A and B are shown apart, each in its own frame.
Chain A
Amino acid sequence: MTPQDLLQLLSQRQVRRLRVIENLLRGRKTVSTLYWGQRYGLLYLLGLDKALQRGALDQVAQTLVTQRLAAWTQDEQPQLRLTPAGHTQQQATTYYHPQTALTWPRVDLKLVTQRLFLAVQVVSQYAHHNVQYYPLMTDLATQQAVRQWFHQIKSTALAQMVLTALTHSLTQLPELTAMVTTAGLSGYQQPGQTTAQLARTYQESAWEIYLRRVDGVIQIATDARKRDHPLHPLLAPAWQTPVTRSAQATLAAVTTTSLSLDQVAQQRHIKPSTVREHLLEAAIMLPVTAVPYDRLLPQTTRQDLLAALPGALDDWEYMALTPELQARYDFFTFRLLAIWCGKQGEMA
């Protein structure tokens, strides 16, 4: 990621923690990362660069600071805010905004990319009656899934069906995004271009090209959710609920019984604090209707806390509450209220 890519992820009105951005990219799903990821509107970054090293963005951020486009704030964690010059530059740059970003946390990107690319290669070679070629290097599970899919669906019409489906998906995206996605595919007599090569050709950063490609892939995966799509059997399993299995189970126990949270913990053999983390994770990642807010945040609780908290959500601090309020309401309740308030804003 270049300084210009990071510039797009910062804001002038909101101070942002570098570690949160880094952890989102690395796919670290702690409640704190998810909460702030949502506050920043950056949840789509989740797991986009799993190989990113810890601290890898420090130097990139420092470059922005040196260029006076961003400034560190005084705090225990490295936090950044755009300067007016940084804001001006951000607004003046045309930068790619992925169209399908909202759904990204719900797709297993690695799975869908590997399956799609191998399937395209297999169908392309098949269409050209070529059986001797080097397959893309993928894990055995991908190879098996694609082989099984191919043997079930193989027909003379398959290539045309896939062509029609992909064309339909890519037509919905900007031309350059369609171009980048297509040029990255490998098949008969087309090795495919790397992200770095496409970045040079189209004079964009490698990260921006990558965002375009993810957009293309997810658009295809979205269309493949329809049962009559030729890639449906292969790509539909990539869709998942954005919360962990364990958190789903906790949420189910809370919504379908009248057990207290501590009783749920006992029943599920997990720590009471884990139950609360699961609920916060679910609250952040799922629609507002999926979580029983009325039960977890009674009207009086909301009124009590809201009366004591500042208007701007990002200025809320649990430690700034009076000791009395802290004694009455735990951090879980405080954070859940913040999530709920945030979701109200989203809906408005």
Chain B
Amino acid sequence: MMESLTASLKRGFGHTTFREGQQAALTALEQHQDTLAVLPTGAGKTLIYQLYGYRHAGCVLIVSPLLALMTDQVNRMRVAGFRRVAAITSLTSYAERQVILAHFADYQFLFLSPEMLAQPTMLAQVQQLRLSLLVIDEAHCIVQWGPDFRPEYLLLGAIRERLARPLTLMLTATADSATQHEIAKQLRTTPQIITESIDRPNIFLDVEAVANDAEKRERLLQLVSQLVFPGVVYFSSKQLASDMAQWLQEQTGLPIAAYHAGLSSEDRFKIQQQFMAGELAVICATSAFGMGIDKNDIRYVIHYHLPTDLGSYAQEMGRAGRDGQQSLAVLLSAPGDERLPLTLMEANRPDDTTIQRFYAHPQAFDSDDPGIALLTFYYQHGISLAAVQTLFTRREQERHHALAQMLAYAREPDCLRDRWLTAFGQADSTHTAKCCAPAKVPLDLAALGLKRTVQPAVNPVTLDWRARLETLFLSNN
């Protein structure tokens, strides 16, 4: 007889208790039930498939749409002692791919991007494997239209059939009931659904209304100057993240750095490690930051721009206060802030005329354009013009609806938390002074215990280079 889940947890991972949701999902999987787990960021979703893989022979195949996340996850699992782990994405070099394929059957955990898995030769290789579990990470990407959207996710239902319907775990941090239903439909299964309250009671929610950009910048400076750190400020552009990091550093004298996809991998590594080590007070980031960061003591998350939907907002601000201590999520809001996400949405979406012209002469278009690349994909997979038009129209409506919800949050007069949770079908009506501060309510940092009282220490003494080399290589014991 197999040992209990708790015994495996202790033996394999050194923990004694599961977090909410983990045990329910694992129990369902052990009963060979396909499972859709809607668990908030930081709830330890990865442990579910790691523990399952630990308990069962064969390979756990994880499909993830985010390349950076996959590489990070592989690194993390190696650090944690899993040796037979590999990832193949479009960024994997040919030589590297050959090495992995040569040992394909030996891996315990394989990460594949959806476009890799959709390739017939790769799929044929995967069909040879003995799969113990198929994991669809960020499963909401099946229905969500956005920068993360991978049309290949729409093929996953068919791919799953080709793999003889292996036991499947769908993971997401953000899915309302319509999204849950759609995920199940696309993957052609009737999963057991595990949800958990998405509320984060220790994060105080705050919306700060400002009149214009200049005022917004001043308010940001005030907050960063007064708040207990570490904190994260999210921006919608790489350039602004870099510029503001420099400006804030000059203004406050605090160690602040930018983090975005435009940095070299070496710089991203260093900034991330500096932040983890407590050497940085604030990170000015784009949405590229956060996936794979497990820093528990982030005290605040500020959004400088309006996010495109409440789901991604919750995911980003939810990086605050994983340690359960009082934390803060601020949304800076100026009139007209919705214009930027609207423009981005329109730029990403081919209009009706373009769709019609494309279907008439598909060869005449440049597939470097992301919208056209998407159309090409649909065309090649035999999806009709009418179906594509419906698809785009529906997605556009969804996006507008999502943005409207985000705006409603920014403009909410009474309780931000209630507004947020209601959007995800988890109403909450216990507003207290410790809950939130909508736009018209002033923010009291001292009352939250988040006002900085001690001056930050000046920069650490810079060692002479010989001394620095010695601390690198010589251990004191």
Query: With contacts A134-B79, A160-B474 known, is A197 near B469, CB below 8 A?
Result: no
Does A219 sit at the interface, judged by CB under 8 A? no
Name the distance in Å between B269's Cβ and chain A's nearest Cβ. 6
Q: How many residues in A have their beta carbons less than 8 Å from beta carbons of B? A: 44
B75 lies within 8 A of chain A by Cβ: yes
Q: Known: A136-B266, A194-B267. Contact between A188 and B472, CB under 8 A?
A: yes
For the complex, give the distance between the alpha carbons of A345 and B75 in Å: 53
Contacts of A133 in B (CB 8 A): 79
Q: How many residues in B have their beta carbons less than 8 Å from beta carbons of A?
A: 37
State in angstroms the CA–CA spacing of A196 and B93 once bound together. 29
Residues of A within 8 A of B466 (CB): 167
Give Cα A299–Cα B382 distance, bound, in whole angstroms.
Answer: 71
Report the separation of the CA atoms of residues A118 and B318 in the bound assembly, to the nearest whole angstrom. 33
Cβ-based interface call for A322 (8 A):
no
CB <8 Å contact, A191 and B266: no
Which B residue's beta carbon lies closest to that of A216? B465
Number of A-B contacts (CB under 8 A): 96
Cβ of B277 within 8 Å of any chain A Cβ, yes or no, is: yes
Say whether B465 contacts A175, CB under 8 Å. yes
Q: How far is the CA of A136 from the CA of B276 in the complex (A)?
A: 15
Which of these, A140, A191, A201, contacts B99 with CB under 8 Å?
A140
Residues in A neighbouring B76, C-beta threshold 8 A? 134
Q: From the candidates B95, B271, B470, name the one contacting A194 in the complex (CB within 8 A).
A: B271
Contact A140 B79 (CB under 8 A): no
> Is A137 part of the contact surface with B, judged by Cβ < 8 Å?
yes
Q: Are B465 and A183 in contact (CB under 8 A)?
A: yes
Alpha-carbon distance between A128 and B475 when the two chains are bound, in angstroms: 5
User: Which chain A residue lies CB-closest to B275?
Assistant: A191
Determine whether B270 belongs to the interface, using a CB cutoff of 8 Å to chain A.
yes
Please, how many angstroms separate the alpha-carbon atoms of A160 and B473 in the complex?
7
Q: Are B273 and A134 in contact (CB under 8 A)?
A: yes
Q: Are A127 and B270 in contact (CB under 8 A)?
A: no
Chain A residues lying within 8 Å of B470, measured Cβ to Cβ, are 163
Does A159 lie within 8 Å of B473, measured CB to CB?
A: yes
A139, A166, A188: the one contacting B469 at CB < 8 Å is A166
Q: What is the distance, in angstroms, from B258's C-beta to the closest C-beta of chain A?
A: 8
Roughly how many angstroms separate A167 CA and B268 CA in the complex, as a whole number? 27
Let me know if B279 is at the binding interface, CB within 8 A: yes
Q: Interface of A with B (CB < 8 Å)? A: 117, 120, 123-124, 127-129, 132-137, 139-141, 159-160, 162-163, 166-167, 170, 175, 178-179, 181-183, 185-197, 200-201
If A182-B469, A185-B472, A191-B276 are given as contacts, then 12 extra A-B residue pairs at C-beta distance below 8 Å, sorted by A number, are A117-B266, A124-B472, A129-B475, A132-B80, A136-B266, A136-B269, A159-B474, A163-B469, A167-B469, A175-B465, A187-B472, A197-B257
**Which residues of chain B have a CB within 8 Å of any CB of chain A?**
71, 75-76, 78-80, 93, 95-96, 99, 249, 257, 263, 265-271, 273-274, 276-277, 279, 462, 464-466, 468-475
Q: Could you list 16 examples of A-B contacts with CB < 8 Å?
A: A117-B266, A127-B472, A127-B474, A132-B80, A134-B269, A135-B78, A137-B268, A139-B93, A140-B93, A178-B465, A181-B465, A186-B273, A187-B472, A187-B473, A191-B277, A191-B279
**Which A-B residue pairs are the 7 nearest by beta carbons?**
A191-B273, A182-B465, A163-B473, A140-B96, A159-B473, A187-B472, A137-B265
